[in-house]
Amino acid sequence: MAALLGALVPEEGPRNTAVEGVELARRSEPWRRSPLMYDPMILFLAQGAKRAYLGDEVLRYDPDHYLALAVPVPVECEVLASRDEPVLALKVTVEPAMLAEILVSMEEPIGAGTDVPRGIYASPLGPEVRGSVLRLLECLRSEQDSRILGRQLVREVVYRVLQDEPGAALRALATRNDHFMRISRVIQHIHGDYAHPHTTEELAGIAGMSVSSFHHNFKSVTTTSPLQYVKKVRLHQARLMMVHSGYNASTAATAVGYESASQFGREFKRFFGSTPAAEAASLRARLA
């Protein structure tokens, strides 16, 4: 895996491929533990390692473990990399339509469920999943193979993951598990309107749950409380605005829904460990 992936992405940074939903990346610099918002994906590392911190829990993913997410989850991420041993990553975007199609082919029941799995898993990379990843990497060496076989091989990777531990969350997303989909709908609402002054009662109403049931199920899926999730989404969005769109701290604070720039500054520094200006400058340098 490392030899194949290293040849496919010889230069630093992310790289799109000819296969829709598949991205490669190389990172040679370590990255201190920092807040990050992970999108729905399946992430394989052929070399190097990362750690995701969820409160007191640590998820390690490396050449022998992969990461899978069914919904956006805020984590603290640490990258273990060096020039001699860079992180080499393969990312497959999670597509609910493909998940559902595969489950139908597997003759899995598509219906409501009440068990709510967590939205993020780190799982050992078994021989079946590893074999499918290797075939996808080999396919990516050829533009023609990628065009003709790529999506089929992505489908194989997803099929193997569905049979593994992270498959629980992916199945819930595809089969429209009742409680999981209600939480997923609220998450989409938050990301679509993060500047709105959300309340737990309002979000519970969108989910069609009692406040206590909503709070419990939301935390089961995302590992954080609803209002803490909203705050993290706002702070991540503000950082992106400062890094990519030239916002200063004050305009970013207003854009993500803060009425007080000083409160934004305090919460930003508490969350990221540095001032908005310093964090934006640091992230620009790391992404350069």
**What's the longest Cα–Cα distance across the chain?**
55
CA distance 31 to 256: 26
pLDDT higher than 70, residue 223: yes
Read off the tokens for 117.
């799995």
pLDDT band at 276 (very low <50, low <70, confident <90, very high): very high
- Cβ proximity of 87 and 47 under 8 Å: yes
pLDDT higher than 70, residue 238: yes
How high is the pLDDT of residue 284? 83
CA distance 134 to 129: 9
- Cβ proximity of 11 and 86 under 8 Å: no
How high is the pLDDT of residue 174? 75
How high is the pLDDT of residue 79? 95
Read off the tokens for 167.
């498959």
Convert the pLDDT of each residue in 37-86 to its tens digit: 999 999 999 999 999 998 788 999 999 999 999 899 999 999 999 999 99
How high is the pLDDT of residue 170? 86
How high is the pLDDT of residue 112? 47
Q: How much is the CA Rg of the chain, to the nearest whole Å?
A: 20
Question: What percent of the chain stands above pLDDT 90?
Answer: 74
How high is the pLDDT of residue 200? 97
What average pLDDT does the structure give for the chain?
91
- Cβ proximity of 180 and 117 under 8 Å: yes
Of 2-11, 157-166, 173-182, 188-197, which range is least confident? 173-182
How high is the pLDDT of residue 176? 65
How high is the pLDDT of residue 206? 95
How high is the pLDDT of residue 236? 95
Mean pLDDT for the stretch of residues 202-222: 95
pLDDT band at 114 (very low <50, low <70, confident <90, very high): low
Read off the tokens for 205.
């109403």
Q: Is 223 left (phi over 0), alpha (psi -120 to 50) or beta?
A: left
How high is the pLDDT of residue 169? 83
Closest C-alpha among 26, 76, 31 to residue 47:
26
- Cβ proximity of 67 and 122 under 8 Å: yes
Mean pLDDT for the stretch of residues 3-13: 95
Question: What percent of the chain stands above pLDDT 70?
Answer: 95
pLDDT band at 105 (very low <50, low <70, confident <90, very high): confident
How high is the pLDDT of residue 10? 94
How high is the pLDDT of residue 109? 55
Torsion angle defined by CA atoms of residues 51, 225, 94 and 268, in that order, rounded to the nearest 10 degrees: -60
CA distance 23 to 35: 22
